[in-house]
Amino acid sequence: MATTAPAEAGTVTAPARPRRASAQGWISRWLPALPLLVVIGGLLLAPALLLVVQSFVGTNGLTLDLWTRVLSSELNQQAILTSVVLGVACATIATIVGAPMAWLISRMFAKSRAGWLALLNVAANFGGIGLAFAYIAVLGTQGMITLGLQGLGIGFVPPRPSSFIGLLAAYSYTNIPLFVLLTIPAMGILRSEWWEAAQTASATRWQFWRMIGIPVLSPFIAGGWLLIFTWSIGIYGIAYGLAGGGGAAAISLITLQIGNILGTDVFGAGRAAVLAVLLMAMATASLIVYRWLLRRALRWL
């Protein structure tokens, strides 16, 4: 608030700006953002909280009943375990393939870099049912590679789309590009002068990477791993396309279970809520670790 200077004799002081009524000030500070805040609050925050509440609501008030029922079911335990293992496998593959790729692409010249970025963008966004279909088109029983190899006389039996390997292969199609796109900006952190300085100090390439490159980049790579893990445990579309039909040998995942319950069981909302909150907890923990990692990485930079 503007303070008035003590008036000196003969001088004219500007009138102090009138204090806004606090309600009016409050509105002007928040109004333009209100639509977005309503969307965030009503369509993201509130539903999440509602699910948490619903997972604890039984017939007679708050209870852990739903949690015990859900977690003791063998089917659900299988689903949880498979989801986590699949998430870890996906994240690891995406990191092993994606990290060198991100490094190499970040070093490319503008034109080829742009070309690769466009390709990766498409692949990262090409998920859901479309990707499930594309997988079947390539490696299904009538898929292109399958028929091609059989035509060459190789008795190729492709992995079933709904199997762990099938999902892993399909998920990786979007996960690897996603990892690369997420970590390419971090690659720019390694300045070329550091490599030159290391050379003038007689370090080999491997010594540079071991002592400088990897330590500086590893928080970001680890962050990428975490993000892919979080993303993978929550994938629904691809999984539904490949394994959603059910069937005896189909894989079970938390997301598929939720979808299943919602589709078939009118009274299953509570159990689905438990599974949903479980996913939420895992993802939130993952994100907290991610923030911590980044903060640690920044202490040097």
Partner 1 sequence: MSSGVSLQDVRKSFGSVHALDGVSLEIESGELIALLGPSGCGKTTLLRSVAGLEQPDGGRILIGDRDVTGVPTRERPIGMVFQSYALFPNMTVRQNIAFPLTVRKRPTAEIKARSDEMLELVNLVPQAARYPNQISGGQAQRAALGRALAPAPDVLLLDEPLSALDALVRTRLRDEIRRVQQLVKTTAIYVTHDQSEAMAIADRVAVMNHGRVEQIAAPPELYETPATQFSATFVGSRNALELPVRDGRVSLGEAFSVPAPAGSSRAVVFFRPEDVEVGLNGVGLPATVEFKIFLGATSRLHLVTDSDGQEARFYADLPSRRAVALVPGARVSVRVEPTDVRAFPAGG
Partner 2 sequence: MTTARVAPAPIARPRERRIGTRLFFLVAAIYFILPLVAVLIFTFAGRWTANILPDSYTLDWWKQAIGNPELVGSFSTSIVLATGTAILDILFVVPAAYWARVRNRRLRPIIELGAAIPFCLPYIVIAFGILQLSGIVVPGLQGTFLLLMLGHTAIAFPFVYWAVDAAMSAAGVERLSEAAEACGATPFQIVRRVIVPNITPGLVTGSILAFATSFGEFAMAQVVGRGLRTVPIWSAEALRSYISAPGTFNQLAVITFITFALLFVLSAIIVYWNRNQTLRLLPGAAAVAETERG
**Local structure of 58: helix, strand or coil:** strand
Q: Of these, 13, 28, 199, 284, which contacts partner 1 (CB under 8 A)?
A: 199
Contacted by 114, from partner 1, partner 2, none: CB < 5 to 8 Å by type? partner 2
Q: Of these, 5, 44, 75, 214, which contacts partner 2 (CB under 8 A)?
A: 44
Q: Of these, 24, 142, 200, 264, which contacts partner 1 (CB under 8 A)?
A: 200
Residues 182-211 that bind partner 2 (CB under 8 A): 182, 184-189, 191-192, 195
Whether residue 259 contacts residue 240, with contact meaning beta carbons closer than 8 Å, is answered with: yes
Give the DSSP per-residue string, 155-192: ---PPPTTSHHHHHHHHHHHHHHHHHHHHHHHHTTS-H
Q: Establish if 247 lies at the interface with partner 2 (CB under 8 A).
A: no
Closest alpha carbon to 158 in 176, 170, 175, 171: 170
Question: For residues 262 and 213, what is the distance between their CA atoms, to the nearest angstrom?
Answer: 48
Residues 99-158 that bind partner 2 (CB under 8 A): 100-101, 104, 106-110, 113-114, 116-123, 125-138, 142-145, 147-148, 150-152
| Segment (H or E) for 57 | strand 57-58
Whether residue 202 contacts residue 57, with contact meaning beta carbons closer than 8 Å, is answered with: no
Q: Establish if 110 lies at the interface with partner 1 (CB under 8 A).
A: no
Q: Which two tokens stand for residue 289?
A: 């670790």
Residue placing its CB nearer to partner 2 in the complex, 116 or 164: 116
Interface pattern 175-194 for partner 1 (x via CB under 8 A)? ----------------x-xx
Residues forming the site for partner 1 (CB under 8 A): 191, 193-194, 196-204, 207, 211-212, 215-216, 299-301
